Amino acid sequence: MKPTPQLRSDLEFSSQHHLGKNYVVVKDPITKRYFRFTENQKVILDLLRSPSDLATISQLACEQLGGPVSEETVAAFQQSLEDKFLLDSETVRAKLENYRGQKLEARNLLYWKLASINPERIFSYLIPRTQWAFKQWFHVFAALMIASGLIINLLHLPELTGRVQELFNLHGLILIWIVTLTVVTCHEFAHGLTCCHYGGKV
């Protein structure tokens, strides 16, 4: 039988444990997109790493999963992978070439990147020490803090708006710059930590 398209060799894989379940996260280095698959789906992904046909993949998947996996199921899963540009087929290669040719960085200033630091070591250190931020109790606490901040601001709104002009001096502008830089840094680190927590790569 004719071999089916294999999984692309340039994809990046990482493991993720969430809500008591294990997943595999696949990153496409060209489109910069992430996809999450279950352990059962990972079995078929692994089988698609080498040339094979639908019948063989179906049989091996049945043996490894201990249950029926029809050729139709494998074919449908393969089609979903091709739609995500994860298979090494002629159709996908053509679409990826078009994607590369778009060169968004050259058309939009917002896509330009400047080299700074590689945060992987920092996040590797922080991730095991910030797991509390992904607990339900912390989400409740954060929501209460945000609500409290809004209420305090509303209660003191006349005082706050009436004294804004006092900040427009050297001391005030330096203070605003420090506060803004600190808040933005914490905000972006939160994005990075969340990305790493769910199997992404920063």
Among residues 105, 136, 156, which one ends one of the domains? 105
pLDDT band at 184 (very low <50, low <70, confident <90, very high): very high
Among residues 43, 74, 105, which one ends one of the domains? 105
Are 125 and 186 members of one domain?
A: yes
What percent of the chain clears pLDDT 90, i.e. is strictly above it? Answer: 33
pLDDT band at 159 (very low <50, low <70, confident <90, very high): confident
Are 100 and 125 members of one domain?
A: no
Rank 39-43, 105-109, 117-121 by mean pLDDT and report only the highest. Answer: 39-43
- Phi, psi angle pair for 49, to nearest 5°: -75, -20
pLDDT band at 20 (very low <50, low <70, confident <90, very high): confident
- Single out the residue of 98, 81, 91, 4 nearest to residue 35, CA to CA: 81
Are 67 and 94 members of one domain?
A: yes
Are 130 and 94 members of one domain?
A: no
Q: Which domain holds residue 132?
A: 120-197
Considering the domain boundaries, does residue 170 fall inside one?
A: yes
Mean of the pLDDT values across residues 152-174?
85
Among residues 53, 77, 105, which one ends one of the domains? 105
Are 133 and 73 members of one domain?
A: no
Close Cβ partners of 191 (under 8 Å, ≥ 6 residues apart)? none
Total number of domains constituting the chain: 2
The whole-model pTM stands at: 0.59
Specify whether the CB–CB gap between 85 and 100 falls below 8 A. no
Residues paired with residue 82 on neighbouring β-strands, in sequence order: none
Q: Which residue has the tokens 């605003």?
A: 176
Q: What is the rounded distance in angstroms from the CA atom of residue 3 to the CA atom of residue 52?
A: 5
- Read off the amino acid at residue 187: H
